[in-house]
Structure 1
Amino acid sequence: MKKFALWAPDMASRGGVQSYMWRLWEMLHQIDDASICGLVLNNTSAQLNEKSVETAAAICGCAGSKVRFVFEALSGRYKGHVVIVGHLHLSPITWLARRVGLIKGYIIILHGIEAWKRNTFLERLALRQADSVVATTNFTAIENKKVNGLLGGNYHIISLCA
């Protein structure tokens, strides 16, 4: 069985990142023989269930509590999962979870402006050690590598579409 987790900043409100994360969540549920669960920083579980009762039941909403998000991420609930990190700012906790053996691997998604500037030391470390980095545009991937002195071929582009 394949085990995936999606860790996102927000999925229930309106916006580009939120829509991207929700569509990714739906696509993960189409994988045969897969166990899918999620962790969302800024939404409540009730907000996620309002969006879709069928798939939202497997998502834990942390209602904006960073402490709860970190606690949930490091709880062991995701042991053996490959985590898809829905925003660069969540990547340090994912790097830590892998470092202590709680998760199998991780993929970071870069959306835009947060990736165009020099990132924190921990974010750069997480980017370097990610199994893959997905950018929504070629510009974002190139700018992130250039500004942060990152090399490597683990960057991939999955464009936004209407």
Structure 2
Amino acid sequence: MRNPKVLFLTLYTFSLTGGIEKVCRNFLQVLDVLKDKLKLKDYHSLSLHDKITKQNHKGYKGNKISFGLAALKESFHADIIIISHIHLLIFARMIKLIKPEKQIILFAHGIEVWKPLAKWQQSFLNEIEIWAVSEYTAKQLKQYNQVSPKNIQILNNCLPKNYDKIPVNVTAIRHQYNLTLDDQIILTVCRLSAAEKYKGYDLVILALRDLIKIYPNLRYFIVGAADLLEQKRVLQLVRDCQLEAHVTLTGYAPDAEIEEYYQLADIFAMPSKGEGFGLVFLEAVASGCRVLAGHSDGSKDALLNGELGLLVDPDDSDAIYQGLLQLLNKPASQELIRERQRKVKMHFGFERYVEQVEDLLFDA
């Protein structure tokens, strides 16, 4: 299809800072590039929950009726409708019922599709195109929801545009936490939620009990918003392990500050078993961190099956301890770090992402 019009439907794009929201913001920039290249005639983005409205993007502050009516209206003028999350599938189904000829594409991120869905959803998924963020997510879609492989394409997430061109100064954070140049920093960036206990920071804390006997200057930062119940539980674990001087929960941090933590860190550790992909791993590698991740989910895609970082069993506390010890005992050379940075940009840079989206839209 030449010069199509695209309608992009999201839950959140600018009002939250999680991984899916980053994907949505990156994708809007891709649509801008494709429009500038005259590949797209135009595009519009509608967000169910955003409060922000700007050029080509409108937020509906959680008003499902207004959002649904707007989605239907805009779909009449669009050739391709792309939805950012399975929770918006009902709107795509409404559009398809009224306009069966419309091309529908769904982003499949992770745990939201790693379970049996309603029968109507399973059936509808075989009528549309799905862009899965990893081979693992594609595998789970096939296993749990009987989606035909011919309906699934792999589109890995990407680094933000110009990610490696932003100057970062870590002096303020070093001063804030009284860090010395002898301190070695382990970092995790994630949301702490009582409902999502799969990120692996508990096991990193437990490993730290023994690691500080060898490396007494270790500091562990967990960066991300936390719900009250989970924050209380994790802080109690820290106290039980007598690690108050070594573990810091920073709470929410804006993107610019998170980039400072990446630059500060020696090791990024998140032995998760619930990552659809793991955008944070790309950011960590691009920032020069050594990385430890789990081997049982989409983290494998993000780390190129171990080329960009160390993969361990996320259920094995000793494997996590041994993995961290290995990274501490054998720091990566600058040559290896630069090679990993080159690879992460080659495979997951914004420019590569634009090429992949263009291929999926126009070369299918």
TM tier, smaller = 0.7 to 0.9
Aligned to 1:53: none
* C-alpha deviation, 1:77, in angstroms: 2.2
Structure 1 portions without partners, runs of 5+: 49-55
CA-based RMSD of the aligned residues comes to 1.7
Between the two proteins, the alignment pairs up a number of residues equal to 151
Task: Give the residue type in structure 2 aligned to 1:107.
Answer: I
1: CA distance between counterparts of 2:148 and 2:100? 27
Which structure would you say has the larger Rg?
2
1:108-119, aligned counterparts within 5 Å?
108-119=106-117
1:60–1:125: structure 2 CA closer, same or farther, 3 Å change rule? farther
**TM-score, length basis structure 2:** 0.40
**Quick check: 1:10–1:42 contact (8 Å CA) kept in 2?**
yes
2: CA distance between counterparts of 1:94 and 1:64? 17
Instruction: Say which of 136, 141, 145 aligns to 1:144.
Output: 141
2: CA distance between counterparts of 1:60 and 1:142? 34
**Quick check: 1:78–1:103 contact (8 Å CA) kept in 2?**
no
**Quick check: 2:31–2:43 contact (8 Å CA) kept in 1?**
yes
Aligned to 2:43: 36
Aligned to 2:13: 11
1:19-98, aligned counterparts within 5 Å?
19-31=22-34, 32-33=37-38, 34=40, 35-44=42-51, 47-48=52-53, 56-74=54-72, 76-79=73-76, 80-98=78-96
**Quick check: 1:134–1:156 contact (8 Å CA) kept in 2?**
yes
Write out per-residue CA displacement over residues 101-150 of structure 1, whole angstroms, 9 at most, x where no aligned residue. Answer: 187211000011001011123322331110x2011111111111111122
Write out per-residue CA displacement over residues 53-92 of structure 1, whole angstroms, 9 at most, x where no aligned residue. Answer: xxx3111211012222211112x22213301110011112
> Is the partner of 1:24 in helix, strand or coil?
helix
1:102–1:37: structure 2 CA closer, same or farther, 3 Å change rule? farther
Task: Give the residue type in structure 2 aligned to 1:2.
Answer: P
Moved over 4 A (4+): none
Aligned to 2:203: none
1:122–1:59: structure 2 CA closer, same or farther, 3 Å change rule? farther
> Is the partner of 2:147 in helix, strand or coil?
coil
Task: Give the residue type in structure 2 aligned to 1:25.
Answer: L
Indicate the percent of aligned positions where both proteins have the same amino acid: 22
Structure 2 portions without partners, runs of 5+: 159-281, 283-364
Task: Give the residue type in structure 1 aligned to 2:45.
Answer: G
- The one of the two structures with greater contact order (alpha-carbon pairs below 8 A, sep at least 6) is 1
Larger relative strand fraction: 1
Task: Give the residue type in structure 1 aligned to 2:140.
Answer: E
